A = this chain, B = another copy of it.
Amino acid sequence: MRITALAGGVGGARFLRGLLRHLAVNPSALPDDDGEAQLTIIGNTGDDITLFGLRVCPDLDTLLYTLGGGIDERQGWGRADETHSVAGELAALGAQPQWFGLGDKDIATHVHRSQLLGQGVPLSEVVARLAARWGLPEQGVTLLPMTDTPVETHVVVDDGEGGERAIHFQEWWVRHRAALPARRFVVAGLDRATPAPGVLDAVRGADVVLLPPSNPVVSIGIVLGVPGVRDALRGTRAPVVGVSPLVGGRPVRGHADECLRAIGVDSTSEAVAGLYSDFLDGWLVDEVDPMRDRPGLRLERRPLLMSSVDAAADLAGAALEVALDLRRHRATA
C-alpha cells in the first residue's frame, strides 16, 4: 500500500505521525492484500532560508524531528531538550538576524546539511541521510523534498512609503507573525524548479494520496507549484483526500487565514477545497464549518483538532478510511 502525502511543517508532521500511529495500532487499517504501508512524504522547501551562512529547511526538519521522536512537543518545531549556546554567542558577535530561534542541536543539522550541499550533494540525498539518522526507513517512511532546486518564498508587503518591498517568508512569518499585510507571495526559483527524484513517481504510483491540514498557500500551495506535481495529481489513479487546515474558518495554528487573504481566497474550508478542485476526491472538514456538497467530492465531517497524538491518529485514520473507500469504489466501478 503506497501512501503519498504532501506536507508543510507542524500540522503536516503531526498528522503524518498520527497516520503512522494509526497504522501501528490498527493491524486491520489496511486491506489484507495491500501489504505493508509505505509512506512517501513530499515536503515543502519553499520556506527554506540561509541563516548565518547555514541552509535551514524548517518544514523538512519539523517532519524529521516529529516522525523521529526528536521534536519539541510544546513548540511543534525544533529539538526537544534543546540548548541555545550558539545563538547566544552569535548575538554577542552582532550576527544578524536575531529573530529566528535556532537551538544548538538544530544547528548541527544545518551545519551538516550545509556542508553536504557545499560538497555538491543534492538536497534529496541530504534528506535521505538525515532521515536515516531519525529512523524513518525503519518506519516505512520516505521523505522527499519537493525539489532539489533552491526555492525561496518571499512576501511582498507595503514599504510604508506607498510602494512595496519583498521580504523572506520566514521574516514575515516568524519576525512579523504575519501581521504585515501581504500583497502577494513570490516564490523565487519555483518556475525553474524540477521535482526531486521520486516525487512524480510517488504521486503517479500511489494507491492513496493524502493532503494533511498544512497551509494551503505557503506549504501545499508551494509543492503544487513545482512544475509537474499538479499534473501528476490530476493524473494519478489514486484517490486524493485532504484535511482542511481551518476550524471555524481559522487556522488551528499558523497564519493560513492571512495567507489566503493575500491570494484573495476566503478563509473557509470550502474555499480551500476550491484550491484543490482539479484533483481533490475527498475532503475532511470540521463539524463546525459550513460546506456545501460538491459533485465528485466525498465530504467527511468530524472534529479536526489534533490535540494529542491519539487525536491525530484518529483524524489520519478517518482520512485514510475515506481514501480506501474511494479506492474500493473505483476498483469496482
**1/0 per position for A92-131, CB-CB distance to B under 8 A?**
1111000000011101110110110010000000000110
Residue A33, interface by CB 8 Å: no
Interface locus among A82-90, A151-159, A221-229, A318-326: A82-90
Per DSSP, chain A at the interface is helix
Partner of A86, one of B86, B93, B118, B133: B86
B53 touches A93 (CB 8 A): no
Measured CB to CB, the closest approach of chain B to A300, in angstroms, equals: 40
Partner of A94, one of B52, B79, B133: B133
A104 touches B92 (CB 8 A): no
A104 touches B85 (CB 8 A): yes
Residue A54, interface by CB 8 Å: yes
**A54 CA to B79 CA in the complex, in Å?**
22
B130 touches A108 (CB 8 A): no
Measured CB to CB, the closest approach of chain B to A202, in angstroms, equals: 25
B82 touches A85 (CB 8 A): yes
Partner of A133, one of B79, B92, B107, B111: B92
B108 touches A93 (CB 8 A): yes
Q: A82-B85, A83-B85, A85-B82 are in contact. Are A90 and B108 (CB under 8 A)?
A: yes
A89 touches B115 (CB 8 A): no
**A237 CA to B133 CA in the complex, in Å?**
60
Question: From A118, which residue of chain B is reached at the shortest CB distance?
Answer: B53
Partner of A108, one of B85, B112, B118, B133: B85
Partner of A104, one of B54, B83, B118, B133: B83
A95 touches B115 (CB 8 A): yes
Question: From A133, which residue of chain B is reached at the shortest CB distance?
Answer: B93
Question: From A111, which residue of chain B is reached at the shortest CB distance?
Answer: B52
Q: Which of A167-197 contact B (CB under 8 A)?
A: none
B89 touches A104 (CB 8 A): yes
Shortest Cβ-Cβ A-B pairs, 7 listed: A53-B115, A89-B108, A85-B104, A89-B105, A86-B108, A83-B85, A90-B108
A sample of 12 more A-B contacts (CB under 8 A), given A79-B89, A93-B109, A111-B111, is A52-B115, A53-B118, A83-B104, A85-B85, A85-B108, A86-B104, A87-B108, A88-B105, A93-B133, A94-B129, A104-B104, A107-B111
